[in-house]
Amino acid sequence: MIFGDAKVSCAELVVIGDEVVSGLILDRNSQYLGEKIHELGIEVSRITTVGDSASTIEDCINLALERSDWVILTGGLGATHDDITKSVLLKVFGCGLKKDLSVESMLEKMFQNRGRDVPPSVKSQCEVPDKAVILYNEKGTAPGFKMQKGNSILFSLPGVPVEMQYLFEKYVAPEMAGKNNKVFLHRLIKTTGLSEAGLWEKVGPIDNLQKKASIASLPSHLGVRIRISVLSESEDDGESRLDEVENYLAQKLSRYIYGRNEDEIEEVVGNLLRENSLTLATAESCTGGLIGHRLTQVAGSSDYFIEGAVVYSNQAKVDRLHVDPKLIEEFGAVSEPVAKAMAKGICDVTGADLGVSVTGISGPSGGSDLKPVGLTYIAVHDRSGTYCKKFVFTQDRIRNKERSAQAALNLVRLRLQEKMEI
């Protein structure tokens, strides 16, 4: 759901490559550029994706230059035979090639470091359009180009994401920001544990908020992100409007908000553990190791994450975590008593301050009328006791696992933030 947005000038993206139109690869460059350009307060009006056909690429570039202030191409700058962007640019801008000595010496140095000569196929990268300003690429062999036609500025960037992002940040973003006298600011508020509809019900009417900023919400099975953006005369005014909207949302949504912008819940949990000098251990059944995997995506997680037990079989629950086999017999492996025994067990065995456990039926099989697929118990144990929550997730195996891991990390967060009652 998007509640309106304000923009200054407009940009178009042209994505080039047979691999993209034929679905062989997923284009993530457009999303990256769409988001970054949006943050600069410039509207992305159109993204056109085309295969490696010279005439189609030419047609797209000409149309984009007519319609838009900014045109950004990605892809087709490699040295292989199917990379034809450069020759199309010569035609569109009516120019020839010249040798760029700086590109040449960069390439020589790069291959010298690898102990070899510049291969003949790569040498062609030194030849650049004679009307282009060169965007020097420290991350790869293909330079980017900046070219102008009338009032429209075109940037041609390589398709390799790391190279594209490097050149965008270094050359394109500063130029776009410089032409834009207004300040565009935005902030992401990240929530979990509420549906999109439930979230807006809790927030209530937002007519007044919308006078301060544009608001958009995006749901996924792991939570809802809210994006607040403002276009303002000054940074101070913009930030204070963002603060006002964020404070209002925080007051309405309180504990459902786990972070903002780039925050991930595993980082938030990690920071809380580190601040409180606490250690964590995991006892995972249906999630199979996903919680440990997520915790260890964070650099430095060895400071607080000491150990995990992936107790997939019942025997493992008994042997490793000392779960009483009678509990499993009486209540089943997917039950509150077993989840609690697992969380307590992992603390006892490892000496961790906090233990989190998950036991559930991910599906597609293993469900029954009494215990449907998606039934999941998550428990958190610490010195003051054991807390358990029941969930019924309703998606496929993979998403049920993902939701379980997200909910488990969130319960650890709540326990640490709120010293939640047991």
Contacts with 422 (C-beta within 8 Å, 6 or more apart), sequence order: 384, 385, 386, 387
Footprint of a second copy on 384-403 (CB under 8 A): 397-398, 401
Alpha-carbon span 346 to 356, nearest angstrom:
8
Alpha-carbon span 187 to 206, nearest angstrom:
17
Alpha-carbon span 360 to 334, nearest angstrom:
5
The neighbouring-strand residues paired with 97 are 129
The 3-state DSSP class for residue 332 equals coil
End-to-end CA distance of the chain: 36
Among 161, 259, 289, 367, binds a second copy (CB under 8 A): 289
The size of the chain, in residues, is 422
Does residue 23 touch a second copy according to CB under 8 A?
Answer: yes
Classify residue 115 as exposed, middle or buried by CB count within 10 Å of its CB (0-12, 13-18, 19+): exposed
Alpha-carbon span 9 to 70, nearest angstrom:
8
Does residue 108 touch a second copy according to CB under 8 A?
Answer: no
Footprint of a second copy on 43-102 (CB under 8 A): 43-53, 56, 60, 80, 82
Are the CB atoms for 179 and 41 separated by under 8 Å? Answer: no
The one-letter amino acid at 4: G
Comparing CB distances to a second copy, the nearer of 56 and 180 is 56
Does residue 21 touch a second copy according to CB under 8 A?
Answer: yes
* Helix residue spans in 254-313 (DSSP H): 265-275, 290-295
The one-letter amino acid at 287: T
**Minimum gap (Å) between residue 132 Cβ and a second copy:** 25
Alpha-carbon span 92 to 99, nearest angstrom:
19
Among 310, 322, 324, 331, binds a second copy (CB under 8 A): 310
Does residue 359 touch a second copy according to CB under 8 A?
Answer: no
Interface mask toward a second copy for 311-350; x: CB under 8 A = xxx-xx--xx-----------------------------x
Which tokens is 238 given?
Answer: 């913009």
**Minimum gap (Å) between residue 390 Cβ and a second copy:** 21
The stretch among 93-101, 121-129, 278-286, 324-332 that binds a second copy (CB under 8 A) is 278-286
Comparing CB distances to a second copy, the nearer of 295 and 414 is 295
Which tokens is 316 given?
Answer: 């493992």
Alpha-carbon span 355 to 322, nearest angstrom:
14
Among 33, 103, 189, 358, binds a second copy (CB under 8 A): 33
**Minimum gap (Å) between residue 37 Cβ and a second copy:** 8
Kindly give the pairing relationship between strand 183-191 and strand 223-232.
Answer: antiparallel
Among 1, 250, 392, 422, binds a second copy (CB under 8 A): 1
Comparing CB distances to a second copy, the nearer of 56 and 152 is 56
Does residue 305 touch a second copy according to CB under 8 A?
Answer: yes
Contacts with 327 (C-beta within 8 Å, 6 or more apart), sequence order: 335, 337, 338, 341
Alpha-carbon span 168 to 174, nearest angstrom:
9
User: How many amino acids of this chain bind a second copy (CB under 8 A)?
Assistant: 80
The stretch among 103-111, 231-239, 290-298, 386-394 that binds a second copy (CB under 8 A) is 290-298
Comparing CB distances to a second copy, the nearer of 1 and 250 is 1
Footprint of a second copy on 195-254 (CB under 8 A): 216, 218, 227
Does residue 291 touch a second copy according to CB under 8 A?
Answer: yes
Comparing CB distances to a second copy, the nearer of 104 and 396 is 396
Footprint of a second copy on 142-181 (CB under 8 A): none
Does residue 295 touch a second copy according to CB under 8 A?
Answer: yes
Among 181, 251, 277, 365, binds a second copy (CB under 8 A): 365
The stretch among 198-206, 245-253, 256-264, 357-365 that binds a second copy (CB under 8 A) is 357-365
